[in-house]
Amino acid sequence: MKAIVIAAGSGKRLGKNIPKYLLDVNGKTILEHQVAVFKKFNINDIIIITGPYKEKFTGKEFTFVEDVSYKKHDILGSLLEAKKHIKGDVLIVYSDIIFDYSILKQVVESDVDIGIAVDLDWEKSYESRTEHTKAEAENVLLDNHNLLEIRKNIQHQDKIVGEFLGILKLSKNGSGIFVKKFEELKKTHKGAFHSAQSLEKAYLTDMIQELIDSKIKVTPIIISGKWCEIDTLQDLERAKSMFH
């Protein structure tokens, strides 16, 4: 299994002139926190997609893919810059999350072609966050463990709402399905794309919604454990209190 980390964002909300992936959390970068967990599962093939500040990334043990078009597209476009690496068993991971061993264990051990990590106990993490509110959460709507919808700010009275962590798991078959679907879209799609104004400006969640709408099985992997997203300085302080 390999890991592809989407690290082409600039982290403007944090006011730092470094990629989020290189933010220091108690003496270790987010990259180092993630890699320490990857290595516990013998995930040593780590591809990092870089954007601005690419020169700040170092490490011969990594494969770097430069997203030279990072200003033109969003997360999905960045990911597909590393399209040739999306084959076999793959983890696709956001660069602004830290997670513990138990969470990755649940994802890695799940026997699915296409699966996304979902936290059902997500709302408590927003209780003290005033700079990054619940309305910005990448929510998933579930019905009997079936994934119906994924987008920001889902509110529903009757069905279960969870939060997408930013971890996607693909099997060999799932990788093939994912890339094939994107290639089809690239040739034929015009106009708005789910929550995005265009395919070029799409997020990973828009692609997942496309798979759902195309009747391609996307399995929610319900996780429990310690994790956090770092989008603001407030989030960074929270991460420092959680991960030592």
Encode pLDDT of 182-216 as tens digits: 999 999 999 999 999 999 999 999 999 999 999 99
Owning domain of residue 73: 2-242
29-64, pLDDT tens digit by residue?
999 999 999 999 999 999 999 998 899 999 999 999
CA distance linking residue 164 with residue 151, whole number of Å: 9
Per the DSSP assignment, residues forming a β-bridge with 152 are 138
Which DSSP symbol is given to 134?
A: G
Which DSSP symbol is given to 196?
A: B
Please give the chain's pLDDT, 244 residues, in tens.
999 999 998 777 787 788 999 999 999 999 999 999 999 999 999 999 999 889 999 999 999 999 999 999 999 999 999 999 999 999 999 999 999 999 999 999 999 999 999 999 999 999 888 988 999 999 999 998 899 999 999 998 889 999 999 999 999 999 999 999 999 999 999 999 999 999 999 999 999 999 999 999 999 999 999 999 999 999 999 999 999 8
Instruction: List alpha helices for the chain, DSSP H.
Output: 30-40, 75-80, 101-108, 172-188, 204-213, 233-242
The pTM of this model reads 0.96
The CB density around residue 224, as the number of other CB atoms within 10 Å, is 11
The answer to whether residues 136 and 153 touch, using CB atoms and an 8 Å cutoff, is yes
Q: How many domains does the chain have?
A: 1
At position 233, the amino acid (one-letter code) is L
CATH assignment of the domain containing 114: 3.90.550.10
Terminal-residue alpha carbon distance, the chain: 27
